[in-house]
Amino acid sequence: MTKSNETEELFTLGWKGKSIHPMQPVIKTETGQARFQRNEAVRMLRDESQKRGYGLNELWPDMDKVPNSEDHKQHFAQLIGYSVDGYSTLSYHNHGIARRAARLSEKLLDATLAKQAAAENERIMNKLRNSDE
């Protein structure tokens, strides 16, 4: 397979198979919501474009002219910090990334619950120690 055919195959596989873009990390916000970690520069560009009347509704028809537009759209959603739950409802989301993000989200929640339980146990133990004195 030649180099150009490999690249063409990668782009062909992009939307139907594995994404041609890396997945953004999943983070937990202060409110406990799992979101893709946003890229501040991309978010700023999106916000500034919206202020000038060129939001996502205006961008998407133009994006449809770009090869693999669905894959670019789903990656853009991650870059602007979409919530994990919201991402999975997008018509153009990548199913593999949605599943992986959901698993990471669950791990973040489990880790948070474990930390909260440990803190509560420590509080109870301190209370018991102080009552013995």
Other Cβ atoms less than 10 A from the Cβ of 55: the count is: 13
Domains of the chain, by residue range, sit at 24-132
Strand partners of residue 28: 34
**Signed CA dihedral, 91, 97, 103, 109: sign only:** negative
Burial of 38 (0-12, 13-18, 19+ CB in 10 A): middle
The number of helix segments (H) and strand segments (E) in the chain equals 6, 2
Query: Given this model, what pLDDT does residue 110 score?
Result: 84
Query: Given this model, what pLDDT does residue 89 score?
Result: 94
Query: Given this model, what pLDDT does residue 44 score?
Result: 93
Query: Given this model, what pLDDT does residue 35 score?
Result: 93
Query: Given this model, what pLDDT does residue 65 score?
Result: 85
Query: Given this model, what pLDDT does residue 133 score?
Result: 61
**pLDDT, tens digit only, all 133 positions of the chain:** 444 443 333 333 333 456 677 889 999 888 888 999 999 999 999 999 999 998 888 888 888 888 888 888 899 999 999 999 999 999 888 888 898 899 988 888 888 877 877 878 888 788 778 876 6
Query: Given this model, what pLDDT does residue 18 score?
Result: 63
